[in-house]
């Protein structure tokens, strides 16, 4: 799964990005983002995590040019965020469905296709393909206001992919989906990755992130707390995990004996969802020691 | 007739437009530069140039397909928002309109006026609020619902969004207008009493230029004012040398009607300084004059048909009667000895022998009008005498009047969409509404202030005078206070100048309406082009302003 | 606010709402079917007669307009007034008429609005037009407009009176009276095919008789305690009787020609037939006019003259009638001072209303001799017109004798211009007969004193005399 650091080409470069929300009179209200620096590389699935109000969505909107940075630079696909032409190669799935509810599925995809200046034949072809892909061909003539939440996410994803983008930005892609839909969505993300696309996603659902992301960043209070490869982050340096199946009690006793012989302290247990642990720990520690960067195994591995 | 056929001066308007747009652009540039430099220093300046560069590149990468997609979206949205419910109001209004138009005993031509005016005004007053509300709320609602997010994160330029909105709303408005106009047309045809139906026409006038001679026969710019408050008409005295002289140019046989006669239609007014012979209206006489040969052919006397007008049919082959004599009323004409076109229209230009200036071009005929009855007066203004060439169908004029409303509608859409790019729905509505109301009612007053024609000085001076109970002609005490006051006032007047020039002049849009309701056609250059020019004149800067505002705006910020 | 918990607060609000409901109900409750148990506003509406349903026609369009304007009625009315004035200045009469209509839809219960606009149409707009038929049209517009106002403001005696003024003096006394009176019976608008405009003169009567009806209605309403605000009550009440008198004078002045033309219209008559018809019409009109005067005398002395007025004369509150004999005054007065006061007041009020003049005039005109004199003079003029000077002379001589007697009997009529003019006309015809025969007229003749007294005005009488022979 890993790619070597040298061949990594940054699709998104964020340098010292800060965002301060101001009120009508120009007075500071909230510091939503504080000096964030981040790279997302070509071909990876990058997860942006954090509790509510940590700055994930702000980051995404700054990337898309929906907000303007107070300070710092953004380069996305080699262009500044304020340049609209970058959008040619970007697909965006918003957090909730902000699509036009009075259009039906076909009209929606056709409309967005036209925004990419696609000729009619291409639009038709893409529309058919995407409706099949997200499995809503049967409801293509219904207005979106009649759609269920899951179907809305699907049509949302379809519109994000209308232009066959190189970079896909997904805001809470799996929220509101049933387990089956959840699986489909994750498969689709992995499928996109296979096609060589770069994916940046925000999510609360840690299991999903753990399943699909190559790297993650955890934000808290507008600051970057954790950044790195998922497996590296979850690997404890001074702990070893032995995974086995169908281990007989006799065999277990033998293993225990060996460990005792080497004087190692140990614990026999079943594996846990450790990203959740990491997340909770990060949040807890950030609260206790604000302004402290916790773990950056990523930068270490880069350096190494 | 109460309209002035003076054509719209496109050249002057264009120069004025350039001036105003230039001033506004200059102001915007300076202010934005100052803000950027002030808040971010030199980095601000580079950001400013980058931004300007990006805007310029947006301008050149417009895509018709995207604009069309956005227009179509706007249209669908408007339909979904039940914009078409306006038809219900329209229907109700027309069902009960008969009650308001209780003028069935009025003379037919006035009934036409009342009905036509009612229909066209009702249409414009129904349609303008609808498009105003739609276009003021469209974009802010789109931002609030965040559906715009999915659009701006596509390669759609924000300029295209502004354009798409404008086109979409204009299209909705146009459809509503067309339906209303068709219904209104049928309504006029059906509701107008039978006697008035034949008045439903569209005269095609050839206007001349009017000059006067006073009672001693000397040239005069105007006639006498007999005490009218409105100084549009001026009067000539009967049985004196006073004359009203119309100069008609570019005449040839094409102005004659199908029978080969010249139709001179007039709207002379009568003013009696004594009752005189009450049974008979005042006599007037035309004297046709060829300016080149000096041939004068007096036509038999006619009587004034005040406030109704009358059409005098002048045969091509003319005899003549005595000039300026009451006897001409009974006297028979001489044998037809003159040809209207061959003898009375000049074949060559008349040139001033000294200055070599052309006084009358070739193809000119003068029509002198005189009042026969001593002590009585005839009143007239330039549009009160014209050659009536064969009439057009009423519906030609109707279409032109509807086109005028269409231009107005587009202008309102343009203004509303622009306003909605920088303020929320309610504020945009209020702003546009004010612009429209001021543009329709207060421009004349503003013009007076801007041109310093309003007595009593500027704001502060007026307040001072009011408080001190000074009348406008009393001199102010000289001193620093007065100087300061005058300075501030003149600065405010300069601001007012800008505001005056920014607020659109809506009177041009209703021009063809007022012509039509009087039963006149008006050529395209006067009926449609000025409206088109004004709309276009606002469209360009408004689109740019809307684009600028939408682009420099954080769509997410609440 | 923390002193109360949420529930307590809700109860507090409820209490407040109930408290506010009390005045709302007591003010605004509508009347029940019997008109009882109504709220204050409903009761006052009834009291001051402001309810739409009490005022004749309910105007649904006005209510609709209110709704459209969302309560900006006053502003809208102001804008319309300004517009109407501008349209008047621009002589845009059609638009002005339409605007006027809108104004009264907004202000249907302002009597002054009706009064102003009605007057404006009948007088100001009317005179702007050159053609007499157009002028008449606008007089009608004004009259119809005022009637509309009467329908919506049934308790306004003012509006009734103003309507009467249009029918009476506006039609009968303006410079165009000759035309207007004829138009009143035969509208110039071709759509009426030479008949009356049924909206304006539904009963096809003389304008003064229609005016009399309106003035009578005005008096009735006034009598029910609806105050008029136009003039002193003693004059206001005289209008129905005055209209009758005006009617009689108008018959005398225009009646014959009008009647004759009406009968002769659309028929071809030989000269003899014409003469016969003239005679017939003359006989009819003589009696009709005399009866009109008789009725006028009755109206003047018995209706109007017997009305009682409470007047404030030089600080004393007195009750008087116009028609009061010495006995009547004595009956009323307790002391000689009282007698003096009442007699003075009656005299003063009689002077103010010209009471005695009209009394005498009507009395005199109702006499057969006076009628005879008028119609003989008329015959004299007709004969003169036909150049039957001998016959004319014969009639004129008789007229002079009759008038001499009348002036002897009613010397106060010597100031009555119409009567004097008739006399001098007779003298002129009488003199001309001699002149045409190359003789000198006798130096002594009846009416000589009156003739001599007016020696300086003779050219004016000659002019008026000659004008009689112009076609109407």
Mean pLDDT of B204-210: 89
Q: Distance (Å) from the C-alpha of residue B534 to the closest C-alpha of chain C? A: 26
Closest CA to C143 of C85, C194, C207: C207
Chain A residues with CB under 8 Å of B557 CB are 21, 67
User: Does the pLDDT at position A273 exceed 80?
Assistant: no
Judgement on whether residues B332 and B403 belong to the same structural domain of the protein: no
Classify residue B558: in a domain, yes or no: no
Mean pLDDT of A31-54: 86
Give Cβ neighbours of residue A84 (< 8 Å, ≥ 6 apart): A65, B54, B58, B152, B155, B156, B157, B158
Contact B2 C179 (CB under 8 A): no
Q: Touching check for B58 and chain A: CB below 8 Å?
A: yes
Q: Touching check for B42 and chain A: CB below 8 Å?
A: no
Give Cβ neighbours of residue C446 (< 8 Å, ≥ 6 apart): C400, C401, C403, C404
Lowest mean pLDDT among A13-22, A291-300, B149-158: A291-300
Q: Touching check for A33 and chain B: CB below 8 Å?
A: no
Contact C176 B270 (CB under 8 A): no
Lowest mean pLDDT among B285-289, B327-331, C176-180, C391-395: B327-331
With a pLDDT cut of 90, the percent of chain A lying above it is 10
Contact B77 A159 (CB under 8 A): no
Classify residue B538: in a domain, yes or no: yes
Q: What is the pLDDT of residues B44-87, one digit of tens each?
A: 888 888 888 888 888 888 888 999 999 999 998 888 777 677 77
Judgement on whether residues B364 and B463 belong to the same structural domain of the protein: no
Contact A115 B69 (CB under 8 A): yes
- According to DSSP, the residues that pair with B338 across neighbouring strands are B318
- Per-residue model confidence (pLDDT) at position A109: 92
Q: Distance (Å) from the C-alpha of residue A301 to the closest C-alpha of chain B? A: 34
Mean pLDDT of B134-152: 88
- Per-residue model confidence (pLDDT) at position B437: 85
Q: What is the pLDDT of residues C222-275, one digit of tens each?
A: 999 888 988 989 999 999 999 999 999 999 888 988 999 888 887 888 888 888
User: Does the pLDDT at position B90 exceed 90?
Assistant: no
Contact B306 C89 (CB under 8 A): no
Half-sphere CA count of B492, side-chain side, radius 13 A? 15
Chain B residues with CB under 8 Å of C93 CB are 110, 307
Domain boundaries, chain C: 67-284, 308-350, 367-467
Q: Distance (Å) from the C-alpha of residue A1 to the closest C-alpha of chain B? A: 31
Q: Touching check for A18 and chain B: CB below 8 Å?
A: no
- Per-residue model confidence (pLDDT) at position A86: 86
Q: Which of B273, B305, B307, B310 to mutate to test the interface with C (most CBs of C within 10 A)?
A: B307
Neighbours of chain C (3+ CB pairs under 8 A): B
Contact B306 C97 (CB under 8 A): no
Number of domains in chain B: 2
- Per-residue model confidence (pLDDT) at position A1: 41
User: pLDDT tier at A293 (50, 70, 90 boundaries)?
Assistant: low
Q: What is the pLDDT of residues C37-75, one digit of tens each?
A: 567 777 776 666 665 544 334 444 444 455 455 566 777
User: Does the pLDDT at position C315 exceed 50?
Assistant: yes
Q: Touching check for A77 and chain B: CB below 8 Å?
A: no
Closest CA to A150 of A136, A133, A168, A171: A136
Domain boundary, last residue among B353, B380, B407:
B380
User: pLDDT tier at C207 (50, 70, 90 boundaries)?
Assistant: very high
Contact A67 B554 (CB under 8 A): yes
- Per-residue model confidence (pLDDT) at position C161: 96
- Per-residue model confidence (pLDDT) at position A303: 36
- Per-residue model confidence (pLDDT) at position A154: 87
- Per-residue model confidence (pLDDT) at position B270: 92
- Per-residue model confidence (pLDDT) at position C182: 93
Instruction: Find the CB nearest B304 among C93, C98, C130.
Output: C130
Classify residue B205: in a domain, yes or no: no
Greater confidence (C43 vs C362) lies with C362
- Per-residue model confidence (pLDDT) at position A84: 83
Residue length of chain C: 472
Mean pLDDT of A249-258: 81
Instruction: Find the CB nearest C98 among B114, B195, B232.
Output: B114
Contact B69 A114 (CB under 8 A): yes
Provide the mean pLDDT of chain B: 86
Question: Considering only alpha carbons, which residue of chain B is nearest residue A119?
Answer: B65
- Per-residue model confidence (pLDDT) at position C31: 57
Chain B residues with CB under 8 Å of A159 CB are 150
Residue length of chain A: 304
Instruction: Find the CB nearest C92 among B2, B228, B272.
Output: B2
Greater confidence (C66 vs C459) lies with C459
User: Does the pLDDT at position A7 exceed 60?
Assistant: no
CA A211 to chain centre: 11
Establish whether chain A is in contact with chain B, requiring a minimum of 3 CB pairs below 8 angstroms.
yes
Q: Which helix (H) or strand (E) holds C207?
A: helix C207-223
Q: Distance (Å) from the C-alpha of residue C102 to the closest C-alpha of chain B? A: 7
Q: Which of C69, C83, C94 to mutate to test the interface with B (most CBs of B within 10 A)?
A: C94
Q: What is the pLDDT of residues A188-218, one digit of tens each?
A: 888 899 988 999 998 877 777 887 888 888 8
Q: Touching check for B368 and chain A: CB below 8 Å?
A: no
Instruction: Find the CB nearest C176 among B228, B230, B278.
Output: B278
User: Does the pLDDT at position B103 exceed 90?
Assistant: no
Contact A98 B150 (CB under 8 A): yes
Q: Touching check for A25 and chain B: CB below 8 Å?
A: no
With a pLDDT cut of 70, the percent of chain B lying above it is 96
Q: Touching check for A159 and chain B: CB below 8 Å?
A: yes
User: pLDDT tier at A299 (50, 70, 90 boundaries)?
Assistant: very low
Domain boundary, last residue among B380, B404, B423:
B380
User: pLDDT tier at A272 (50, 70, 90 boundaries)?
Assistant: low
What whole-number distance in Å separates Cα of residue B493 and Cα of residue B383? 35
Classify residue B428: in a domain, yes or no: yes
Contact B150 A112 (CB under 8 A): yes
Contact B155 A67 (CB under 8 A): no
> How many B×C Cβ pairs under 8 Å?
69
E strand residue ranges, C260-415: 308-313, 316-321
Largest CA distance in chain A: 74
Question: Considering only alpha carbons, which residue of chain C is nearest residue B227?
Answer: C89
Judgement on whether residues B31 and B179 belong to the same structural domain of the protein: yes
Contact A112 B63 (CB under 8 A): no
- Per-residue model confidence (pLDDT) at position A20: 86
Mean pLDDT of A229-257: 71
User: Does the pLDDT at position C340 exceed 70?
Assistant: yes
C180-218 b/e (C-beta count within 10 Å ≥ 16 → b):
bbbbbbbbbeeeeeeebbeebbeeebbbbbbbbbbbbbb
Classify residue B139: in a domain, yes or no: yes
Range of the domain at B77: 10-200+392-551
Judgement on whether residues B161 and B295 belong to the same structural domain of the protein: no
The DSSP string of C107-168 is: -TT-HHHHHHHHHIIIIIIHHH-SSHHHHHHHHHHHHHHHHHHHHH-TT-HHHHHHHHHIII
User: pLDDT tier at C201 (50, 70, 90 boundaries)?
Assistant: very high
- Per-residue model confidence (pLDDT) at position B201: 85
Give Cβ neighbours of residue B149 (< 8 Å, ≥ 6 apart): A64, A66, A92, A94, A98, B555, B556
- Per-residue model confidence (pLDDT) at position C141: 93
Q: What is the pLDDT of residues B442-486, one digit of tens each?
A: 888 888 888 887 777 788 888 888 888 888 778 888 888 888 988
Q: Touching check for B480 and chain A: CB below 8 Å?
A: no
Q: Are the CB atoms for A173 and A185 separated by under 8 Å?
A: yes
Question: Considering only alpha carbons, which residue of chain B is nearest residue C59?
Answer: B99
- Per-residue model confidence (pLDDT) at position B482: 86
Mean pLDDT of B221-236: 90
Q: Distance (Å) from the C-alpha of residue B69 to the closest C-alpha of chain A? A: 6
Domain boundaries, chain A: 8-303
With a pLDDT cut of 90, the percent of chain B lying above it is 30
Classify residue B2: in a domain, yes or no: no
Closest CA to B121 of B167, B87, B90: B90
User: Does the pLDDT at position B245 exceed 90?
Assistant: yes
Extract long-range pairs of C402-409: CB within 8 Å, 24+ residues apart: C402/C369, C402/C370, C402/C372, C402/C373, C402/C376, C403/C373, C403/C446, C403/C447, C404/C446, C404/C447, C405/C369, C406/C364, C406/C367, C406/C369, C406/C370, C406/C373, C407/C447, C407/C450, C409/C364
User: Does the pLDDT at position B109 exceed 90?
Assistant: no
Q: Which of B3, B92, B100 to mutate to test the interface with C (most CBs of C within 10 A)?
A: B100
- Per-residue model confidence (pLDDT) at position C227: 87
Contact A87 B154 (CB under 8 A): yes
Judgement on whether residues B464 and B353 belong to the same structural domain of the protein: no
What whole-number distance in Å separates Cα of residue B198 and Cα of residue B253? 26
Closest CA to A112 of A143, A91, A142, A133: A91
- Per-residue model confidence (pLDDT) at position C397: 93
User: pLDDT tier at B98 (50, 70, 90 boundaries)?
Assistant: low
Q: What is the pLDDT of residues B393-421, one digit of tens each?
A: 889 889 988 998 999 999 999 999 999 99
Fold of A8-303: Rossmann fold (3.40.50)
- Per-residue model confidence (pLDDT) at position B440: 82
Q: Are the CB atoms for C384 and C431 separated by under 8 Å?
A: no
Fold of C67-284: 1.25.40
């Amino acid at each position: 799964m890993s790619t070597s650091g040298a061949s990594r080409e940054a699709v998104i470069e964020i340098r010292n990005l800060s965002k301060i929300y101001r009120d009508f009179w120009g007075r500071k209200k909230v510091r939503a983002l504080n000096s964030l620096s981040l790279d997302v590389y070509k071909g990876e699935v990058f997860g942006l995590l954090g509790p509510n109000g940590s700055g994930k969505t702000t980051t995404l909107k700054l990337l898309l040019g929906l907000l303007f940075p107070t300070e710092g630079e953004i380069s996305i696909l080699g262009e500044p965020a304020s340049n609209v032409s970058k959008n040619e190669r970007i697909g965006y799935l918003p957090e909730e469905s902000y699509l036009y509810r009075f259009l039906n599925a076909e009209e929606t995809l056709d409309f967005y296709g036209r925004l990419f200046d696609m000729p009619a034949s291409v639009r038709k072809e893409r529309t058919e393909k995407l409706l099949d892909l997200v499995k809503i061909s049967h409801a293509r003539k219904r207005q979106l206001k009649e759609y269920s939440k899951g179907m809305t996410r699907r049509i949302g994803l379809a519109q994000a992919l209308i232009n066959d983008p190189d970079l896909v930005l997904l805001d809470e892609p799996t929220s509101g989906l049933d387990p089956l839909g959840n699986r489909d969505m994750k498969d689709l993300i992995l499928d996109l990755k296979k096609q060589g696309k770069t994916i940046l996603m925000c999510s609360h659902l840690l299991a999903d992130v753990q399943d699909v992301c190559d790297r993650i960043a955890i934000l808290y209070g507008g600051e970057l707390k954790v950044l790195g490869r998922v497996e590296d982050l979850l690997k404890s340096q001074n702990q070893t995990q032995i995974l086995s199946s169908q281990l007989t009690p006799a065999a277990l006793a033998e293993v225990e004996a060996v460990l005792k012989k080497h004087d190692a302290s140990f614990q026999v247990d079943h594996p846990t969802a450790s990203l959740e642990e990491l997340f909770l720990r990060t949040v807890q520690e950030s609260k206790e020691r604000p302004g402290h960067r916790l773990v950056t195994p990523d930068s270490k591995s880069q350096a190494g | 007739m109460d309209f002035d056929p003076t054509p719209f001066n496109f050249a002057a308007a264009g120069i004025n437009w350039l001036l105003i747009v230039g001033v506004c652009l200059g102001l915007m540039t300076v202010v934005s530069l100052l803000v950027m430099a002030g808040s971010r220093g030199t980095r601000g300046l580079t950001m400013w140039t980058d931004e300007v560069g990006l805007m310029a590149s947006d301008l050149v990468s417009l895509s018709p397909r995207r604009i069309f997609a956005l227009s179509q979206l706007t249209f669908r949205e408007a339909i979904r928002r039940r914009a078409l419910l306006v038809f219900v109001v329209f229907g109700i209004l027309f069902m009960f309109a008969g009650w308001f138009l209780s003028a069935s005993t009025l003379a037919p031509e006035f009934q036409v006026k009342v009905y036509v005016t009612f229909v066209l005004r009702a249409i414009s007053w129904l349609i303008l609020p609808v498009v105003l509300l739609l276009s003021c709320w469209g974009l802010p609602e789109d931002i609030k619902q965040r559906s715009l997010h999915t659009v701006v994160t596509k390669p759609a330029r924000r300029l295209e969004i502004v354009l798409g909105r404008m086109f979409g709303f204009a299209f909705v408005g146009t459809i509503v207008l067309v339906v209303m106009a068709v219904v209104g047309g049928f309504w006029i045809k059906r509701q107008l009493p039978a006697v008035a139906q034949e008045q439903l026409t569209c005269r095609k006038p050839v206007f001349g230029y009017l000059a006067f001679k006073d009672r001693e026969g000397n040239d005069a710019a105007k006639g006498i004012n007999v005490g009218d408050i409105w100084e549009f008409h001026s009067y000539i005295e009967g049985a004196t040398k006073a004359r009203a002289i119309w100069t008609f140019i570019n005449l040839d046989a094409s102005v004659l009607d199908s029978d080969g006669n010249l139709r001179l239609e007039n709207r002379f007014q009568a003013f009696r300084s004594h009752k005189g012979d009450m049974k008979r209206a005042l006599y007037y006489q035309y004297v046709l004059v060829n300016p080149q040969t000096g041939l004068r052919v007096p036509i038999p006397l006619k009587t004034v048909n005040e406030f109704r007008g009358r059409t005098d049919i002048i045969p091509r082959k003319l005899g003549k009667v005595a000039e300026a004599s009451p006897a001409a009323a009974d006297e028979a004409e001489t044998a037809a000895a003159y040809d209207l076109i061959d003898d009375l229209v000049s074949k060559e230009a008349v040139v001033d022998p000294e200055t070599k200036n052309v006084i009358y071009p070739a193809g000119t005929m003068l029509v002198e009008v005189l009042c026969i009855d001593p002590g009585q007066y005839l009143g007239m203004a330039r549009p009160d005498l014209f050659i009536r060439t064969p009439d057009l169908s009423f519906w030609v004029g109707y279409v032109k009047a509807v086109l005028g409303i269409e231009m107005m509608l587009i202008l309102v859409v343009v203004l509303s969409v622009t306003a909605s790019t920088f303020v929320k729905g309610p504020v945009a509505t209020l702003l546009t509404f004010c612009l429209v109301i001021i543009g329709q009612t207060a421009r004349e007053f503003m013009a007076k202030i801007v041109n310093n024609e309003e007595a009593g000085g500027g704001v502060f001076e007026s307040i001072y005078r009011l408080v001190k109970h000074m009348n406008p002609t009393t001199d102010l005490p000289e001193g620093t206070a007065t100087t300061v006051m005058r300075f501030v006032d003149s600065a405010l007047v300069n601001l007012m100048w800008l505001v005056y020039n920014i607020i659109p002049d809506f009177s041009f849009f209703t021009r063809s309406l007022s012509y039509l309701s009087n039963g006149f056609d008006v050529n395209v250059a006067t009926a449609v082009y000025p409206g088109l020019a004004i709309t276009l004149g606002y469209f360009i800067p408004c689109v740019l302003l809307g684009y600028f505002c939408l682009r420099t705006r954080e769509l997410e910020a609440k | 606010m923390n002193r109360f918990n949420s529930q307590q607060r809700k109860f507090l609000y409820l209490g407040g709402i109930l408290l506010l409901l009390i005045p709302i109900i007591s003010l605004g409750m509508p009347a029940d079917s019997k008109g009882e148990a109504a709220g204050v506003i409903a009761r006052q509406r009834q009291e001051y007669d402001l309810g739409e349903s009490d005022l004749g026609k309910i105007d649904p369009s006005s209510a609709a307009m209110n709704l459209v304007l969302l309560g900006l009625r006053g502003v809208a009315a102001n804008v319309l007034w300004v517009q109407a004035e501008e349209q008047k200045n621009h002589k845009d009469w059609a638009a002005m008429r339409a605007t006027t209509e809108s104004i009264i839809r907004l202000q249907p219960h302002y009597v002054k609005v009706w009064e102003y606009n009605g007057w404006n149409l009948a007088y100001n707009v009317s005179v702007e037009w050159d053609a007499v038929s157009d002028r008449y049209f606008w007089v009608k517009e004004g009259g119809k407009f005022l009637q509309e106002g009467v329908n919506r403001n049934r308790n306004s005696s003012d509006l009734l009176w103003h309507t009467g003024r249009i029918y009476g003096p506006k039609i009968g006394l303006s410079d165009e009276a000759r035309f207007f009176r004829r138009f009143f019976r035969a509208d110039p608008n071709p759509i009426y095919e030479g008949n009356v405009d049924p909206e304006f003169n539904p009963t096809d009567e003389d304008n003064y008789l229609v005016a009399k009806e309106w003035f009578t209605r005005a008096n009735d309403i006034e009598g029910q305690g609806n105050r008029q605000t136009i003039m002193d009550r003693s004059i206001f009440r005289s209008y129905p009787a005055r209209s009758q008198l005006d009617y009689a004078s108008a018959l005398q002045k225009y009646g014959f020609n009008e009647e004759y033309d009406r009968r002769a219209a659309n028929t071809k008559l030989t000269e003899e037939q014409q003469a016969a018809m003239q005679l017939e019409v003359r006989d009819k009109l003589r009696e009709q006019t005399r009866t009109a005067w008789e009725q006028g005398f009755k109206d003047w002395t018995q209706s109007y003259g017997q009305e009682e007025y409470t007047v404030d004369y030089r600080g004393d509150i007195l009750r008087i009638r116009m028609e009061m004999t010495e006995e009547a005054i004595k009956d009323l007065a307790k002391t000689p001072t009282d007698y003096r006061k009442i007699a003075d007041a009656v005299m003063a009020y009689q002077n103010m209303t010209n009471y005695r003049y009209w009394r005498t005039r009507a009395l005199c005109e109702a006499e057969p001799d006076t009628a005879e004199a008028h119609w003989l003079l008329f015959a004299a003029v007709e004969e003169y017109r036909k150049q039957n000077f001998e016959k004319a002379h014969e009639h004129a001589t008789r007229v002079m004798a009759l008038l001499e007697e009348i002036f002897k009997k009613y010397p106060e009529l010597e100031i009555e211009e119409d009567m004097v003019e008739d006399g001098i006309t007779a003298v002129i015809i009488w003199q001309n007969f001699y002149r045409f025969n190359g003789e000198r007229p006798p130096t002594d003749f009846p009416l000589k004193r009156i003739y001599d007294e007016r020696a300086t005005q003779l050219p004016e009488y000659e002019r008026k005399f000659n004008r009689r022979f112009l076609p109407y």
